[in-house]
Amino acid sequence: MGTRREPTARQLRLAVELRRLRDAAGLSAREAAALLGVNSVQISQIEAGTTGVSEERLRRLAAHYACTDEALVDALAAMASDRTRGWWEEYRERLPTSFLDLSELEHHATYRWDVDFLHVPGLLQTEDYARALFACRVPRLPADEVELRVRHRMQRRVIIQTNRPIPYKAVIHEAALRIRVGGRNASRAQLARILELSEADHVTVRVIPFELDDFADVTAAMVYAGGAVPRLDTVVRDGPHGALFIDSDAQLGVFRTLFRRVEAVSLGPERSRDLIHRLAKEL
């Protein structure tokens, strides 16, 4: 397989998981290479994501690493053999790589959770709302790039607006619903859009009201994407230099706990809809 110049986040995740399996087995890269009849440089390239690995070789490595988690091995094998060129490829070299990585992650996700405190989650946004957010970026983006990002964001909604949508849960703070983005009419249309989407059986929207007490310690906005197996779950958070993809077991456990906590303290779906209706009437 050829060398990749810029592995995707999914390719890097496969590489990381193979390295974790080797470490757990207590084998060196040289020992792993000997098992496949290759040199240690090739193992290093596989574990850096700069070159791929065939399904046959992956399964041989997993067997040598004494990995007994068949579901995990099958999931990794599917990742190794995946040659998907999704709709997001049209944006390559036109948008930041993290945009494409998020789209690819969502495409393969088995479910999706969002928590947000200042903005409506991207999958629920209208065009006008998204356009207003991108237009106020600092430094200011050119108009054509704003439109490109808006179009990409709208296409991402396919995961919850297709014939086979994935389960989606969003927990949104009341502050995000009250902040006017794009003006009164755009904000009203945005609330209407959330209400419309929340009527779908696979979509659950909950609101954290201002009146909630003792909430200061739960402030972690996140995108949580379920993998084929729990070990392959991923959290995405905005960082100072772009999106951060988080995949360690310990951190995933923390974010699962945080999500369950905000879900527990938020209003139920019906009460959340009532609050959103009231906020829309106030505009």
**Is 4 part of any domain?**
no
Residue 34 sits in the same domain as residue 173: no
pLDDT of amino acid 104: 96
In our burial notation (b when 16+ CB lie closer than 10 A, e otherwise), range 16-28 reads ebbbbbbeeeebe
Average pLDDT (259-283) is 95
Asked whether residue 16 is domain-assigned, the answer is yes
- Please check whether residue 248 lies inside any domain of the structure: yes
Q: What is the reported pLDDT for 214? A: 67
φ and ψ of 250, to 5 deg: -65, -45
Residue 127 maps to which CATH number? 3.30.870
pTM listed for this prediction: 0.94
Residues 73 and 192 in one domain: no
- Position 240 scores a pLDDT of 61
Q: Are residues 169 and 220 in the same domain?
A: yes
Q: Does the residue 29 lie in any domain?
A: yes
Same domain assignment for residues 71 and 126: no
pLDDT for 83 equals 85
Give the CA radius of gyration of the chain: 21
pLDDT of residue 99: 95
Q: What mean pLDDT comes out for the span 212-228?
A: 82
Q: Are residues 45 and 135 in the same domain?
A: no
Residues 172-200, mean pLDDT to the nearest whole number: 97
124 in a domain, yes or no? yes
95 in a structural domain: no
Asked if pLDDT for residue 2 goes beyond 70, the answer is no
Q: Which residues have CB under 8 Å from 66's CB, separation 6+?
A: 25
- At 179, list the tokens: 């902040």
CATH code of the domain in which 61 resides: 1.10.260.40
The count of structural domains within the chain is 2
Judge if 16 and 155 occupy the same domain.
no
pLDDT band at residue 6 under the 50/70/90 scheme: confident
In terms of domains, do 185 and 226 share one? yes
239 pLDDT above the threshold of 80: no
For residue 74, pLDDT beyond 60? yes
Please indicate, yes or no, whether residues 180 and 42 belong to a single structural domain of this protein: no
Both 149 and 212 in one domain: the answer is: yes
* Statement: residue 1 has pLDDT above 60: no
The pLDDT, as a whole number, for residue 48 is 95
Nearest to 123 by CA among 107, 136, 146: 107
Q: Is the pLDDT of residue 258 over 60?
A: yes
Q: Are residues 154 and 38 in the same domain?
A: no
The domain of 195 spans 101-282
Instruction: Give domain status of residue 92, yes or no.
Output: no
Q: What is the pLDDT of residues 109-148, one digit of tens each?
A: 999 999 999 999 999 999 999 999 999 988 899 999 999 9
- Is 26 part of a structural domain of the chain? yes
Q: What is the pLDDT of residue 199?
A: 97
Separation between Cα atoms, residue 208 and residue 116, nearest integer Å: 10
Q: Are residues 15 and 115 in the same domain?
A: no
The band of 216, judged by pLDDT with boundaries at 50, 70 and 90, is low
At 183 the pLDDT is: 94
9 pLDDT higher than 60: yes
Are 166 and 253 in the same domain? Answer: yes
